Amino acid sequence: MNKNRKMIPVCIGFLSQSLGSRGFSSQMTSNKLKIAIIGQSTFASEVYKLIRKNGHEVVGVFTVPDQGSREDPLASVAAADKIPVFKISNWRKGKDAIPEIVNLYKETGAQLNVLPFCAQFIPMEVINYPQFQTICYHPSLLPRHRGASAINWTLIHGDKEAGFSVFWADDGLDTGPILLQKSCKVEPTDTVDTLYNRFLYPQGILGMVEAVTLVANNKAPKIAQSTENVSFEPSIRKKSLQQVDWSKTAEELYNFIRGLDSAPGAWTTVNGEEVRMFGASLWQGTLPQGTALQISGMEGEGLVHEKGLIIVGSDKKLVNVERLSIGGKMIKAADFFNANSKSEKIQFTETEEKLIGDLKSIWKSILNNDITESTHFFGSGAGSMDVVRLIEEIKDRLKISLQNEVIYMNPAFEDFCQEVILTSRQSSSEKSCVYDGVDIQVNNLELRFPTQLFINGKFVNSASGQTLDCINPADESLICQVQCASEADVDTAVEAASTAFNKGEWSKISSRDRGVLMNRLADLMEAHKEELATLESMDSGAVYTLALKTHIGMSIETWRYFAGWTDKIQGSTIPISHARPNHNLTYTVKEPFGVCALVIPWNYPLMMLSWKMAACLAAGNTVVLKPAEVTPLTALKFAELSVKAGFPPGVINIIPGTGKEVGEALAKHPKVRKIGFTGSTAVGHSILRSAADSNLKKVSLELGGKSPLVIFSDCDLEKSVKMSMGGVFFNKGENCIAAGRVFVESSIYDQFVQKVVEETKKIVIGDPLDRSVSHGPQNHKKHLEKLIAYCDQAKRDGAKLVHGGKRCDRPGLFFEPTIFTDVEDHMTIAKEEAFGPIMAISSFDGSNLDSVLQRANDTEYGLAAGVFTQNINRALEFSRRIEAGTVFVNTYNKTDVAAPFGGYKRSGIGKDLGEEALSEYLKVKCVTIEY
């Protein structure tokens, strides 16, 4: 009788009509039934557990005899509960039921038979005996794909929908009336295993138990199977059905291979030898470089390349195959021509020998067999759920993360152990993070940091061999040379990020696991904060104490903040109105873009990296980041820490280089779907043009500013002076929201200027590593020269220089904190961003709020603004009417990781920080279902 097989998940509807049922008692509602479970496998054992949990009595379990010393999981769980277990090798002799077996069954007194997964033919004397007869599980949407290989044929036929049926068993083969059906979409990348594990296993278990509840409540329908779309296919175990038909199109070949992907595999003949193919995908793009291969029966040549074996369909389109089985040995298809070369066995250390013992223990617990070097995992009866258990137990007990394909590629215990040890060694090597770097003693620290590009989890040299000079602005000495990326390196990094997003470990881990990795990275940044702050100080000129508190401190806070968001990204359900029938479910989901490019400036190297990358990764994207060419060192040290934190290869890629080559290549790259940029408005325009001309990638920009700070006479003057100085001189003025225009009410103008000059003279300028210093060197020489020219222009325009305005008379790129007064709105100093420690002070009439607001808004920039006043109405009116993305009242420069940051007008598009930043790295999908 009905031979049951594997199954699949996510429900779209079950048949709820109650059409009557044979033998049902009209008085029976919500009864607890006496149930016999007939079947085997982990699936059946899970159905058994839930049936008992729901209060039903399992009066007997009928399963298969032990395979060697391995007991079926259903028998094991039932025996542990002291439920009678009967291990039946045959129910029939010829066509006739064996009376002794039937009588043994009848003695249980079952009211209902449940066949969750049964590979045996059960006689009708058993099927029809109980009061409520027999319900059976089948992994297809009957009447399609009756027979023993339903999931395989679902994929082979290219069905767009899969599912399972619970039906009333009869004397046909999967022909009984339908009780319940559930379905799911077949994804383009689905295989037998993914369908089973994603839908048929979890939802099938629930579906069987739901069917039992319907029977118990006298609500189980009996719907005759349709006479349309009926199909019956033979068991795929027949070898002739496993052979590739080369007259098929590429899509048909792909469906055939994935339909046999778990077992036994689609086979063909190569050089007179049988070869089975696994891991197929439709090949997109141009033909790669590789070595030709003749395949019997296929028109044209196969091609062995670095990612597999290309085969050709009758329509000349291509399929890529990742794995091959030759003579029972699984290999990577890319290694086909090396398949006969024997790899040398690795020698295990004493610690590794102990690990082998642990592996043997895990295998034994799963297989219930004694384990030898030649023990074959699948040959011992293991299935796909056992693979999951094996990988998870190794992860939990041995702290080694493996992909499922490791066991598929190495099913023999000896080979599997070799791969696990190699993975363990590679993991240890990665965590030590080998690189060409620099060792220096500075700031009472032994400092070591990388100087190579970071691509796909490894530090590598640039394809061009070119380098960038890293100059210490405090004394203009050469710190080191860093590898300079080329356009070829951009392609390599983007490809690594694309693979990590689509196929790598990053694509498989849960959102919560992403948060764990991000928190782990934050912990490592905390542990190395002195090193990071020292590097930031050397590379950018930031004062060490400020770097420790803000550059590094806020970076750490940012990673922790966005780590908390990873598992809280959600869509919404939306009520819609539509023509009848108006039964609709509309909902949204938020999905990552994929590969994101980030281009960051030189003023806060690590903080700008963190502001953008933390939100980007929290959303699930992968990243290629270009640090500023003059400040790449903390980004590369960060890359080292990301490896130690356990980020999978390809998720984070750091490629120092020039904006002209690397930045432009990222903006134009067709596989980059989002670019985030902080820098000048001119470059922002260029990035927008490149994004539009390439693939219309999403763009977020944080650009220039000329932020107004308006100080009314009713302010706290001491606080206003202090805050305005911080607003201008913070981080030596290299601050995007610096108060570029200070408007002071005329009645306190002279007093304000006097106090600001007095306090500015007290600023301590010097070595940024000196804890007593509060003002370090400008970032690089070209910028220093720009500031000098900027001041010269201000003087020519008629602004009054009252302090500073020139380079300091000392080694290094030091510029005096500078104050200009009597600044008029038409002057260059009032219009263009200085991006340095230059305060431009203008006076205004405090009785005319409209006038000062008009002056404050008379700019194409709108990044930030501030106002000092004790008048709450004035403060609120100012906040409402000022054209700026960030507004400070009676404070300035107070940013927080939870508060969104970004500008209006030519100061940019989009936001960093806060919940709003996540939206920059997510796309919204709307789904509408009519039911």
The kind and range of the H/E element at 821 are strand 818-821
Interatomic CA distance for residues 924 and 902, integer angstroms: 21
Least Cα distance to 655 among 890, 881, 459 occurs for 459
Residue that has been written with the tokens 């206003």 in this structure: 720
List the one residue out of 375, 310, 12 whose CA is nearest residue 184: 12
Give the H/E segment covering residue 463: none
The CA distance from 682 to 190, in Å, is: 46
Residues 6 or more apart whose Cβ sits within 8 Å of residue 682:
none
Q: Please enumerate, by residue number, every residue annotated as part of a binding site for (6R)-10-formyltetrahydrofolate.
A: 120-122, 174
- Per the structure block, which two tokens stand in for 850? 């409209």
- Cα–Cα distance measured from residue 411 to residue 417, given in angstroms and rounded to the nearest whole number: 10
Using DSSP, state whether 326 is helix, strand or coil: strand
Alpha helices in 232-383 (DSSP H): 250-259, 350-367
Distances (CA, A) of 624 to 486, 519, 595: 13, 20, 7
For 850-883, give the secondary structure using H, E and C.
Answer: HHHHHHHHCCCEECEEEEECCCHHHHHHHHHHCC
Name 342's Cβ contacts closer than 8 Å, sequence gap at least 6: none
3-state secondary structure of 548: helix
β-pairing, 453-455 with 458-460? antiparallel
Helix, strand or coil, per DSSP, at residue 45: helix
Distance CA 368, CA 70 (A): 5
**Which tokens belong to 23?**
């033998």
Rounded Cα distance between 276 and 255, Å, is 15
Structure tokens at 383: 């299935």
Q: Please name which of 628, 630, 684, 635 lies closest in space to residue 659, comparing C-alpha atoms.
A: 628
Under a CB-based contact definition with an 8 Å cutoff, are residues 4 and 25 in contact? no
Of 152, 124, 339, which is closest to residue 242 (Cα–Cα)?
152
Using the structure block, give the residue that is written with the tokens 């999967």.
174
Active site residue 736: yes
Decide if 233 is catalytic. no
**CA dihedral of 347, 350, 355, 356, whole degrees rounded to 10:** 50
- DSSP, residue by residue, 286-317: SPPS-EEE--TT-SS-EEEETTEEEEE-TTS-
Catalytic residue among 702, 816, 883, 920: 702
The C-alpha atoms of residue 374 and residue 328 are separated, in whole angstroms, by: 13
Residues 113 and 38 sit within 8 Å (Cβ to Cβ): yes
CA separation for the pair 83, 77 (Å, rounded):
9
Please pick, among 138, 145, 551, 780, the residue that the annotation labels catalytic: 138
For residue 232, give both structure tokens.
Answer: 């019956």
Binding-site positions for NADP(+): 600-602, 679-680, 786, 833-835
For 348, residues 6+ apart whose C-beta sits below 8 A from its C-beta are 356, 421
Q: Residues annotated in the binding site, as ranges?
A: 120-122, 174, 600-602, 679-680, 786, 833-835
**Which residue type, as a one-letter code, is found at position 232?**
F
Could you give the CA distance from residue 132 to residue 135 in angstroms, rounded to a whole number?
Answer: 9
Cα–Cα nearest to 757, from 823, 692, 801:
801
Catalytic residue among 736, 783, 883, 920: 736
Q: In angstroms, rounded to a whole number, what is the distance separating the alpha carbons of residues 389 and 197? A: 12
Q: Could you count the other beta carbons within 10 Å of the beta carbon of residue 463?
A: 16
Roughly how many angstroms between the first and final C-alpha of the chain, as a whole number?
A: 35
CB 85 within 8 A of CB 54: no
Residue 791 a catalytic site member: no
Pairing of strands 904-905, 861-862: antiparallel
Distance CA 104, CA 860 (A): 89
Which positions are catalytic?
138, 702, 736
